[in-house]
Amino acid sequence: MIKIKNLKKFYNNRLILDISELDLDAGKVYSLIGRNGAGKSTLLNILSGVLSSDEGYIETDLDETILCPQEPMFFKGDVVYNLTEPFKLMGKNIEISKVREQLKNFGISELENSLISTLSGGEKAKVQFVRTKLYDKKIVLLDEPTASIDKKSTALVEEAIVKMKNEGKLILIITHNYEQALRISDTIFEIDDGKLIRRRI
């Protein structure tokens, strides 16, 4: 579903990514680990079309890709606006009952009419994850979705990730939590010195 060949990305003549080959399939969870600054977010940004690579070849379906970025991004406004407006802008209608159901699943129903600017860091991360899920895309790229959220909510996010995989989606998740990677993924990759190394099948 995603194929990479000889991908290279440089920043100021520094080689950040140097991936000779990668094949990712539908219906799988792949975890991506690695030190700060290793190039993990850069790779997800390239796979979502936010950034371009400098060399190489990528085969993917950008129309069926959604990125949950490391830094949450929202419109000014409340939670429900942020969970409906992006879909309206794409000319799609999203049922409010679906939005409410997802908020309930993550235990944040009471935040429905809260302004995004008043939310805690973890609450913002949960709203962003809910929005990512509502997009219902086939390729789901998650950049440290549970870095700021509590244990109970992390379990809910992990459950949702496995459910999406069972629906046939391809999930690529960046995490610094190796235990989490072991819990949810089929394959764990590490980025080290720009190279992608398969750590666990």
Ligand X SMILES: Nc1ncnc2c1ncn2[C@@H]1O[C@H](COP(=O)(O)OP(=O)(O)OP(=O)(O)O)[C@@H](O)[C@H]1O
Distance CA 39, CA 54 (A): 14
- In which residue are the tokens 């962003």 written? 128
Q: Which of residues 62-101 bind Mg ion (CB under 5 A)?
A: 70
Q: Which is nearer to ligand X, 1 or 17 (CB)?
A: 17
Q: Which is nearer to Mg ion, 70 or 114 (CB)?
A: 70
Angle between helices 121-135 and 151-166 (to 10 degrees): 10
Binding site for ligand X (CB under 6 A): 11-12, 16, 34, 36-42, 70
Q: What residues pair up with 58 in beta bridges, in sequence order?
A: 4
Residue 42 binding result from ligand X, Mg ion, none, given CB thresholds of 5 to 8 Å by partner type: ligand X
Closest separation in Å from C-beta 86 to ligand X: 24
Q: Which is nearer to Mg ion, 63 or 71 (CB)?
A: 71
41 part of the interface to Mg ion, by CB under 5 A? yes
Tokens coding 101: 């159901």
Interface residues with Mg ion (CB under 5 A)?
Answer: 41, 70
